[in-house]
Structure 1
């Protein structure tokens, strides 16, 4: 086996050298660091690629080229360059490159996130937009979100430290599940164990999906699975697939018919429905996989980052609580309808998305044809990575870019008119262009609502021996940006007791 591997590697080196000798540099490519034979720049990415690429952009500029194995990868590390790709040339970069995560976890590209751009993708997105993410759907499902957040506040009245990320994740998952499949997935006996197992699966998916798998970039050696990534993906897929099958089977035993899964199943079973619009059982599971991964962990991790920053900055926390007390009072919990009247709270959320974007590197895209960006030639089939994390730390755009300063988004601040919805490329936590996050409207509302409720409803203490000013803010890289050390906090109620009662709907 070892001799075979050596022969394969030698052949690949020879083929790579021959290709470059014959092709020659016919175009002005973006600058970039020198790489290794065969692997190119793969070994240089390190455990936190978004930080590594940020450092490389300082040396090579806001648009630079990497060679990952045999794949050309262009990196956009400034707002202007990102806009050139995702606004001026968005049509060219509307597809995803091949990758093992989409193949082995996302049902071989049958989902929404990794599906090829075209009629099928548009149909899936339209279904989600109509039944989950439209203004009408969001308003219709508001009582569900409010009830689940009330349950969250009740769960925090335990008088002991809690893992905030886990508690918020249960809330986000149950709110999404009730809208998607019609009931809470974590309830009653064994709730803590089931929720912990689900969160662990989602985190593992995000971690594996964020790995730069050598087999995706070096042809001919994928079967060896040198990093063991594909094997882990296949095992994890079986676990998640069993979870989704259970959801669908439970759904068949009875549903109110207002949830997304009811709509998808009705399309599948409707004999009069156009075949082009029908979804297979696998496609339904792939769509649910997207919703339950992208729609839960990203929300809970952002709320966790926001609370950590406010605990580190007690003056900002107190200011936010004052705003909430003035608008809402202390006799009830905040409601979703209060959110437009809370500009400082909204500024806190924007600043959290800036410093701690849920997806530090945008999901990759691939060019369908060559184009020119900033005077550089971008070849066909080049992979595009937008370093969202680096763009939001650009000192040419942001004053004190490493400081948590929500006031920059307030009237009179340096970025008072900037939003996070893909229009202003200085901060694009949901991406931009055609493949912007489909669930942006729901995700933004949930993050705002949960953060407002936690800030309004509680004072926040830390375990003994933990200093707020020295709270560990280290990142753990994956497809989503997690805290390396989960946030353990002591919630102390600050409203009247009756404010925490759950109103059934």
Structure 2
């Protein structure tokens, strides 16, 4: 029974907390980079017109995909993936790894490595547009970022999580214009450990319905 409860908890927490955390970081970056938010909204309008974005529409939005990929590069849901170990003494990258050692992978160090990325501290979806930089988040063609881990132990919810993140980001930007609250406040992008790495100071925002109707609401 305890094992069953543990498995159910992992699926529920892993499928909700990670997605919610990623979307919060994503909206924060759109607030801090209004030109990105504007370009994303223009792509949504150009793709779907006045109808609501659905999953099939998401596939036709390359800039949305670039925004989400950059979001996952800058803000992986967790800073460590599953612990690894060796079955016999091994040397890896010049380091001796004994059998009883736990091997941890610090994901922000990979995604923020200037050897892999130009100006890695900058939130820049344009790096993933054709002619720029590229990365496979599954790690199949090389590991430059690994927000969901890589290999046989990659997160089983990767496909579901990425679909939800794309769709939630698109719908939230389609319906509302997002701004900081209070307006003069500079967002703090410091993270803190909970089940995932969340914003140390929870995001507060002002939203205004698109299309000129409705009042601003402070969240």
Q: Is TM > 0.5 for Structure 1 vs Structure 2?
A: yes
| Counterpart pick for 2:29 among 304, 309, 312 | 309
The equivalences for 1:466-485 within 5 A come to 466-467=184-185, 470-485=186-201
Match of 1:344 among 63, 66, 74: 63
Provide the rounded CA distance (Å) in 1 between the counterparts of 2:183 and 2:29.
18
Q: Match for 1:448 among 150, 162, 166? A: 166
Rounded to whole Å, the distance in 1 between the matches of 2:194 and 2:101 is: 22
1:295 match: secondary structure: helix
**CA RMSD, 1 decimal:** 1.7
Counterpart of 1:395 in structure 2 is: 114
Identify the match of residue 333 of structure 1 among 41, 48, 52. Answer: 52
The gaps in structure 2 that reach 5 residues or longer are 214-219
Q: CA deviation at 1:307?
A: 0.7
Q: Output the CA distance in 2 between the equivalents of 1:378 and 1:450.
A: 42
The reply on whether 1:370 has 2:89 as its aligned counterpart is: yes
Distance change in 2, residues 1:312/1:496 (3 Å): closer
Equivalents in 2 of 1:376, 1:438: separation in Å? Answer: 30
Question: Does the CA contact (< 8 Å) of 1:332 and 1:495 recur in 2?
Answer: no
Deviation at 1:409, TM superposition (A): 0.8
What is the distance in 2 between the residues matched to 1:388 and 1:459? 31
Q: TM-score under structure 2 normalisation?
A: 0.91
Q: Deviations over 1:137-180 (max 9, x none)?
A: xxxxxxxxxxxxxxxxxxxxxxxxxxxxxxxxxxxxxxxxxxxx
Q: Does 1:422 align with 2:142?
A: no
CA distance in 1 between counterparts of 2:166 and 2:86 reads: 35
Gaps of 5+ in 1: 1-280, 498-505
1:320 aligns with 2:40: yes
Structure 1 residue 290, shift from structure 2 partner: 0.6
Residue aligning to 1:409: 128
* Mapped contact 1:369–1:381 kept (Cα < 8 A): no
* Contact preservation (8 Å) 1:365, 1:383: yes
1:9 alignment counterpart: none
Greater percentage in helix: 1
Identify the match of residue 179 of structure 2 among 441, 449, 461.
461
Change (3 A) 1:457 1:434: same
Please give the TM-score of this superposition, normalised by the length of structure 1. Answer: 0.41
Give the equivalent residue in structure 2 for 1:380.
99
C-alpha separation in 1, matches of 2:195 and 2:92:
26
Q: 1:288 to 1:496 in 2, by over 3 A?
A: farther
